[in-house]
Chain A
Amino acid sequence: MEKKWEEMTPEERQEVLIQRWLSPKDPQGEDLKFKTPEAEAEYKARVQRLVDAIQLKRVPDRVPVLPLPNMFPVYYYGITVQEAMYDYEKCFAAFKKFVLDFQPDATMGCMGPGPGKFYDIVDYKVYRWPGHGVGPNQCYQAVEDEYMKADEYDALITDPTYYFLTVYFPRAFGSLKGLSLLSPPTYVLEFYPTFSAVHFIPFALPPVQEALKVMAEAGAEVLKWIQGVVGWNLEIMASGFPLLAGGGCKAPFDTVGDTLRGTKGIIIDMYRQPEKVLKAVEALVPIMIKMGAEAAKQNGVPLVFMPLHKGADGFMSDQQFKTFYWPTLKKVILGLIEEGCIPFLVAEGGFNSRLEVIKDLPKGKVVWMFDQTDMAQAKKILGDSACIAGNVPTDLLAVGTPEQVKEYVKKLIDTCADGGGFILTNGAFFDEAKPENVKAMVEFAKEYGVYR
């Protein structure tokens, strides 16, 4: 008799998710058929290697190696970013070639370029992408703006969902302005039927109907794309490569800072209305936990990808980090662990001044991927309690030589791999890179990173 999810301890939940990661299913719920027995053995060995590195209970057979690209597979395959965004089959072929050629221990998948037509349909304002503000062969880039105004904290805190739907969406998506006219669904109560009825009036208004039409069209496009993604995932897994992450979410401070207020906006708010910022990040905690945990459970992969931005060295003082950034990030991390997930924290920039603070987490439950952090310090301070990953510099991959890359990897493994708890990755997600450098990173690490 199997225990219900609600009755399980966090450890039991994690074990369930790890078992599902180890033994993936096809869409019919049957055991996934691997292409060859070798592929199956390799798949399981790769997952086990990552689990061992993360849990700190056993030393893995060797250091897991994860080249984590941004647009590199697109360039490497010889198509433009624009083609990859609009011709889904070409995109999938490019990311498949990357996995097969570089043989990573897990893959972030093929979703990076995303469904270009979706961005067109909704007139996405938050990004510039090829054909819409950047050249055909450049990655999309986020456009920072005050998508939420300084005086809208109360609206966000009171009802984040209604705020996102009726205020953020109309600003972020040019074709969805009509959504600003919607009534709060929480006004539809049973106390008098007429009151329920009146809240449906907005759906009769032409701007709302226009927005709903656009949403239906946009959704259909994304559905078409995601079916391809699912097929890609199954094929790649069947070839022996696990998916790295089951879902993703953000630090609450980054959600307010990156998504809503922009860097300058949230910085000014920390001085002018600190209490509001603190309430807003608190309100986002359960939403972030749910976002990461639900996807991880649905996809049967325990790792939850969390890119961290505004907590980096220099971006705020230690005091501000301890006040505004860390407490709610920690709550999200603990909430995910409670759900059996493994937060994969991508500390972009440097995190040197934060190491002592972020140490305060249960042992063997998270991965910290570092970019420009001093890896020797990271190992020294976090080594007993957390798996660390990093940090072959992207500039080295772009303009260095294979010899320089190998030298860096050797030093990195010498510094960080002792006793397990280390995954070799690049520092930041890379676009342009010399293929021979990426190859050198992966192959040398696999050879040199064997535990004897």
Chain B
Amino acid sequence: MDLVEAIADLREEEALKIVKDRLSAGEDPVKILEEARKGLEIVGNRFASGEYFIPDLIYSGEIMKQITEIVKPLISQTTQAKKLGKVVIGTVAGDIHDIGKNIVVFMLEVNGFEVYDLGVDVPPERFVEKVKETQAPILGLSGFLTLAFDSMKRTIEALKEAGLRDKVKVMIGGGQVTDEVRKYTGADAYGKDAMAAVSLAKAWVGAS
């Protein structure tokens, strides 16, 4: 039975059984986790190609969470896979919507980015701090409400004031965000969906 396939096809019970069986057979947990990641990567690809939808993505994340909970305690040292680059992301001040942002985080992660997710209602100074601390070259600002446009603008201004604007590329996205909004906020780019976020990020780190 193939773990990669079981996860890619969202067969939860089967995937968990494979993991448990292989662990009790003494298999290397790192290898199992790696295969699980590959399964998730296929889910990401299927989402990008329109075969899968948001529910499939969220369900696969739930399957992965359970596998990680079983496998992680058995791994002595975490082997860090090589990452494409760092991305700081969050929903801007005043806005607590996170479904879209979470999908972008998922897609960036399965595509090899190291993502620092600051959550929702994130004030400009926290974005600035995190960009400074991680030296991430990419910042993602999410917002669903029209009031988020101003918060995005303020966040980008705060980057300028901190002298970081030329060190970080800013992408924005969310419900009503368009190129008009991008101009208004001073962001470098906007994306209509999570796939757009991935291609932007890849282009910015020179990985596309």
Contact = CB atoms under 8 A, between A and B. Distances in A.
Interface of A: 128, 133-135, 138-139, 141, 143, 263-264, 267-268, 270-272, 314-317, 320, 349, 393-396, 398-400, 404, 428, 430-433
A263 B54 CA distance: 10
B147 A139 contact: yes
Nearest to B194: A314
B53 A268 contact: no
Nearest to A270: B55
A400 B180 contact: yes
Contact of A141 (B55, B97, B193): B97
B85 interface: no
A416 B86 CA distance: 45
A141 B149 contact: no
A314 B54 contact: yes
B10 A396 contact: no
15 contacts: A135-B94, A141-B95, A264-B58, A270-B55, A271-B10, A271-B12, A314-B53, A314-B54, A316-B55, A317-B52, A317-B53, A393-B176, A393-B178, A398-B176, A399-B184
Nearest to A143: B96
Given A320-B53, A432-B149, 15 more contacts: A128-B96, A135-B94, A141-B96, A263-B99, A264-B58, A267-B55, A267-B58, A268-B58, A314-B53, A316-B53, A395-B180, A396-B178, A399-B180, A399-B183, A433-B146
B181 interface: yes
Contacts of A272: 12
A316 B54 CA distance: 6
B145 interface: yes
A50 B99 CA distance: 35
Contact of A398 (B10, B55, B56, B146): B146
Contacts of B59: 267-268, 271
Nearest to A400: B180
Interface in B135-161: 145-147, 149-150
B54 A315 contact: yes
B177 interface: yes
A146 to B, nearest CB: 13
Given A141-B97, A271-B10, A395 B177 contact: yes
Nearest to A134: B94
Given A394-B146, A395-B146, A399-B149, A138 B180 contact: no
Interface range, B side? 20 to 34
Nearest to B150: A432
B95 A394 contact: no
B181 A315 contact: no
B163 interface: no
Nearest to B53: A317
Contacts of A139: 145, 147
B111 to A, nearest CB: 18
B142 to A, nearest CB: 14
Nearest to B145: A431
Contacts of B96: 128, 133-134, 141, 143
B50 to A, nearest CB: 9
A346 to B, nearest CB: 14
Nearest to A319: B53
A270 B176 CA distance: 28
Interface string B50-83: 0011111011001000000000000000000000
A428 B53 contact: no
B53 A399 contact: no
A431 B146 contact: yes
A157 B12 CA distance: 26
B54 A395 contact: no
B161 to A, nearest CB: 21
Contacts of B94: 134-135, 138
Contacts of A395: 146, 149, 176-178, 180-181
A128 B97 CA distance: 12
Nearest to A313: B53
A438 to B, nearest CB: 13
Nearest to A272: B12
Given A135-B94, A394-B146, A320 B55 contact: yes
A272 to B, nearest CB: 7
A396 B179 CA distance: 10
Residue among A263, A314, A396, A431 facing the most chain B CB atoms (10 A cut-off): A314
Contacts of B183: 399
B53 A431 contact: no
Nearest to A135: B94
B171 to A, nearest CB: 16
Contacts of B177: 395
A181 B38 CA distance: 49
Contacts of B145: 139, 141, 431
Contacts of A433: 146
B147 A432 contact: yes
Nearest to A432: B146
B175 A428 contact: yes
Contacts of B175: 349, 428
Which 10 A-B residue pairs are closest in the complex by CB-CB distance? Answer: A399-B184, A267-B55, A395-B176, A432-B146, A317-B53, A267-B58, A398-B146, A431-B146, A395-B178, A138-B94
Residue among A138, A139, A315, A396 facing the most chain B CB atoms (10 A cut-off): A138
A270 B59 CA distance: 9
Contacts of A270: 55
Contacts of B58: 263-264, 267-268
B145 to A, nearest CB: 6
Residue among B145, B150, B183, B193 facing the most chain A CB atoms (10 A cut-off): B145
B41 to A, nearest CB: 20
